[in-house]
Amino acid sequence: MKNNRLLLVILIGFLMSCNNSKKNSASATPNLDYSNKNKDNSTENEWVSLFDGKTTAGWHSYGKDKAGERWKIADGALYIDTMSKNGGDLVTNAEYENFDLKLEWKIAPKGNSGIIFYTNEDTLKYKNTYNTGLEMQVLDNDGHGDGKIIKHRSGDLYDLISCSKETVKPVGEWNEAEIISKDGRLQLFLNGTNVVNTTLWDDNWKKMVAGSKFKTMRDFGTYKKGKIALQDHGNMVWYRNIKIKTL
């Protein structure tokens, strides 16, 4: 009888020990949530799309309250319909200071356009986006007359700095452009290659502007925050996959 009682005590003690072990194990293991396990947790989460592929939401023509009729959308791309009237450079509603901008573009034969940034939309003072904003050139280098002018070719910081290497693709093909501006350091990339590097707003920058076609535009290249513009130069051009990241 005593042996039976001893065996029962040992059994109860063993069961209690197992139970405590499970509790301790559960408290030591974090409560893992796998609901987001397929989401990208990299810095890509910081990117903000500026174009939804369907509408011009977030954009308007310079000096207007909405996008001009020349700007159309097809196949997930913004493009200029040269048969339509009421266009103008398309600008973002928001302003940006330190940023990383990525987008894709393609140009029609003999076409000309540009990606303009740091634009101040004070239309009482500035008639055009380029009166204040800097431009990464978008061009058919072989078909347009500007292709014969130094600092006017695709990927150039227009009329200021030529590409260190030309990486533009043939007319009609999509090009990947990237503009990174942070604390005065400006980098332009075309199809994955860093083609322009410069420092904004210092004495050297001022001398460079003074030697350009913008020398008579008092406030050109002086703003450290502004809007992004897609230029309507009267030629067909397409833009897509436009996104930005604040730095």
**Average model confidence (pLDDT) for the chain?**
87
What pLDDT shows up at residue 36? 30
Is residue 124 assigned to a domain? yes
Number of domains in the chain: 1
Q: Given its phi and psi angles, is residue 85 left (phi above 0), alpha (psi -120 to 50 degrees) or beta?
A: beta
Query: Domain with 204 in it: what CATH number?
Result: 2.60.120.560
Q: What is the pLDDT of residues 189-220, one digit of tens each?
A: 999 999 999 999 999 999 999 999 999 999 99
Range of 172's domain? 46-246
Is residue 18 assigned to a domain? no
Which pLDDT band, with edges at 50, 70 and 90, does 63 fall under? Answer: very high
CA neighbor of 210 nearest in space, from 198, 192, 222: 222
Helix (H) or strand (E) holding 18: helix 2-28
Is residue 2 assigned to a domain? no
Q: What is the pLDDT of residues 15-29, one digit of tens each?
A: 444 444 433 333 333
Q: In this structure, what is the dihedral angle of CA atoms 185, 242, 59, 73, given to the nearest 10 degrees?
A: 150
Q: Is the pLDDT of residue 2 over 60?
A: no
Contacts of 114 (CB under 8 A, 6+ apart): 130, 135, 136, 137, 138, 158, 230, 231, 233
d(CA 197, CA 169): 21
What pLDDT shows up at residue 230? 98
Q: Is the pLDDT of residue 1 over 80?
A: no
Is residue 41 assigned to a domain? no
Predicted model pTM: 0.82
d(CA 159, CA 157): 6
- Yes or no: say if 107 and 138 are a contact pair by the CB < 8 Å rule: yes
Any idea which residue has 């513009």 for tokens?
A: 229
Any idea which residue has 């003072």 for tokens?
A: 125
Is residue 39 assigned to a domain? no
Is residue 34 assigned to a domain? no
Is residue 37 assigned to a domain? no
